[in-house]
Amino acid sequence: MVQANEKRPDASAVVVTGASSGIGKAIALELAQRGFVVFAGVRTAEDEGALQAEAGVGPGQLRPVRLDVTDQEQLATVTRTVEAEAGRLAGVVSNAGIAVAAPLEFVPLEDLRQQLEVNVVGAVATIQSFMPLIRRSQGRIVMVGAISGLVSSRLLGAYAASKFALEAVSDALRRELSAWRIPVSLVEPGRIATPIWSKSLADANERIARMPPEAIGYYQGLMDEVLDGAREVEVKGTPPAAVARAVYRALTERRPRTRYFVGADAHIVNVLRRVLSDPMLDRLIKATRR
């Protein structure tokens, strides 16, 4: 149901990056069900086929497009496709991202660069590519961040650094584009029930195996502890659909918020980081599994 503070989408188009699975897929499906034409960026032909099977799920359309946000040629191709086929670009949802899990003491620098290249440079590249269409349509920008952009957790320093950077990117874009009344919103999920965490930490186990022997001695116990917490999140975390609903609100509310926190834990972390000292927050994080 469309709320009083929302405008009905009129077959407008939305671009969603990172729509192969998890949060991005939930966003793409939600927006299509709400009546948008969704250009859903996926990485592989297999992902494209799987998402295509779910096309026509609602009054809108779900249209998978091959898009790696670190590939400028693919970005340019998708931008031209949207320009040629969309009547109006209601917004761009920058969601594509990876999570590199490793102790910063030993994280391979090429992995750190890839983390920032996808999550930060890729997000900016996406906005730059679609910005002429956004201006022409008076569209909106929605960035998908995380509470890791407010408080960094153990073994997720590289990932958190990318999300901290998105805080700055979103703030700068919002202030720079205010003269043209182009809204920029940052959606900040807490613990979401997707496979990204256990997958990232499983990858981290493989990554640590390639590190010096002392890395395993120092961090294997912490890895096991945090991995247990990640498995728990997959079962007990907030459903990805909650993030999708927040994105829909950011795209349709007459007065979109600058930030949308998703999940009780996201709201709690936002408060705690303001009221607790760093040592107190450190002890609290240590007492949790993530």
The CA distance from 247 to 188, in Å, is 10
Domains and CATH numbers, the chain: 13-193+238-268 (3.40.50.720)
The CA distance from 216 to 102, in Å, is 11
Enter the pTM of the model: 0.90
Percent of residues, the chain, with pLDDT higher than 90: 60
Instruction: Supply the Cα-derived Rg of the chain in whole angstroms.
Output: 19
What are the tens digits of pLDDT across the range 135-188? 999 999 999 999 999 999 888 999 999 999 999 999 999 999 999 999 999 999
Cite the active site residues: 159
CA distances for 193 relative to 125, 186, 241, 290, angstroms: 28, 20, 10, 14
61, 187, 80: which is closest to 133 by C-alpha? 80
Return the SS3 of 61. Answer: strand
* pLDDT over 50 (residue 1): no
* pLDDT over 70 (residue 6): no
Helical axes 213-236 vs 196-209, angle rounded to 10°: 170
Task: Please state the rounded mean pLDDT for residues 106-127.
Answer: 96
* pLDDT over 80 (residue 205): no
* pLDDT over 50 (residue 35): yes
Length of the chain as a residue count? 290
Q: Whole-number mean pLDDT of the chain?
A: 88
40 neighbors 64 (Cβ within 8 angstroms): yes
Among all chains, which residue has been given the structure tokens 């779900």? 62
Task: Please state the rounded mean pLDDT for residues 89-112.
Answer: 94
The CA distance from 171 to 289, in Å, is 30
| pLDDT for res 57 | 59
The CA distance from 230 to 218, in Å, is 20
* pLDDT over 80 (residue 203): no
* pLDDT over 70 (residue 5): no
The CA distance from 224 to 218, in Å, is 12
What are the tens digits of pLDDT across the range 234-259? 777 789 999 999 999 999 999 999 99
